[in-house]
Amino acid sequence: MPGFGAVGQHLKLREIFLVRALVTGAAGFVGSHTSEALLRLGHDVLGVDALTDYYDPELKKANVRLLQDSSAFEFRQADLLDTDLTGLLDGVDLVFHLAAQPGVRSSWQNGFGVYADANVLATQRLLEATRGTAVQRFVYASSSSVYGRAASYPTSEETPTRPFSPYGVTKLAAEHLCSLYADNWGLPTVSLRYFTVYGPRQRPDMAMNRFISAVLEDRAIPVYGDGEQVRDFTFVSDVVAANLAAALTPDVPPGTVLNVAGGGSITVNGLVELLGSIVGRPVRTEEQPRQPGDVQQTGGTIELAGQLLGWRPQVTVAEGLAAQVAWQKSLRG
Task: Answer whether 98's CB lies under 8 Å from 45's CB.
Answer: no
Give buried/exposed letters for 173-183 (b at 16+ CB in 10 A, else e): bbbbbbbebbe
Active-site residue, 167 included = yes
Catalytic residue among 167, 181, 194, 198: 167
Can you say whether the dihedral through the CA atoms of 156, 121, 27, 73 is positive or negative?
Answer: positive
Q: Which residues are catalytic?
A: 167
